[in-house]
């Protein structure tokens, strides 16, 4: 009899614990989605480092924006080729060119930036490209963006460095707090 009461007590305790646990877990899609994202990041991050042969679960370009701009002219395929040549995500690069020059190969900024990628003359010279030639300008812009990515290991910081200069990103160890750069990064990434 004592055994049955003991067993009943165990079931009662387990039942109460189960009910208490169930009450703390939300059934909403939002919290389940958040939990799934957390678990995926955990698996992809710390746990994948433990296994040499494990594969990343998250795509490398997660979080990078798609290009949905209206422009579909002759410079878009040129931009995609330049991006591919230097290993820059093509949609990110298209959004950058959209923001920089609105696809105008003759764009000239008040600061002296030239062409589709709005390259400064010194930067174009350092990269060895003619900023007035659309193809060369796009290749120079893609190369410069890739150089910033190689330096900062973040597309967000690379885009900030493209706009504000790499020294500003180094100084703040983040996207610089300049209104123009903050708005620029927000426009490119859409968030």
In 3D space, the residue among 130, 119, 105 whose CA is nearest the CA of residue 163 turns out to be: 119
**How deeply is 155 buried, as exposed, middle or buried, from its count of CB atoms within 10 A (0-12, 13-18, 19+)?**
buried
In 3D space, the residue among 130, 66, 141, 145 whose CA is nearest the CA of residue 103 turns out to be: 141
| Contact in structure between 167 and 113 (CB atoms under 8 Å) | no
Paired with 114 in beta bridges are 108, 119
Question: What per-residue string of b and e applies to 3-19 under the rule 16 or more CB within 10 Å gives b?
Answer: eeeeeeeeeeeeeeeee
Paired with 119 in beta bridges are 114
Q: Which of 49, 52, 80, 100 is catalytic?
A: 100
Catalytic, 100? Answer yes
| Residues forming the active site | 100
């Amino acid at each position: 009899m004592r055994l049955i009461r003991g067993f009943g007590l165990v079931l009662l305790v387990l039942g109460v614990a189960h009910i208490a646990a169930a009450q703390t877990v939300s059934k909403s899609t939002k919290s389940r989605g958040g939990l799934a994202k957390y678990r995926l990041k955990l698996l992809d991050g710390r746990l994948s480092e433990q296994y040499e042969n494990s594969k990343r679960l998250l795509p490398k370009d997660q979080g990078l924006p798609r290009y949905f701009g209206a422009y579909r002219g002759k410079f878009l395929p040129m931009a995609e080729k330049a991006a591919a040549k230097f290993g820059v995500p093509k949609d990110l690069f298209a959004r950058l060119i959209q923001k920089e020059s609105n696809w105008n190969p003759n764009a000239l900024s008040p600061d002296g930036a030239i062409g589709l990628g709005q390259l400064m003359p010194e930067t174009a010279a350092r990269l060895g490209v003619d900023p007035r030639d659309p193809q060369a300008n796009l290749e120079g812009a893609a190369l410069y963006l890739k150089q910033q990515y190689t330096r900062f290991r973040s597309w967000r910081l690379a885009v900030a460095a493209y706009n504000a200069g790499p020294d500003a990103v180094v100084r703040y160890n983040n996207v610089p707090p300049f209104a123009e750069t903050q708005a620029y990064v927000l426009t490119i990434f859409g968030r």
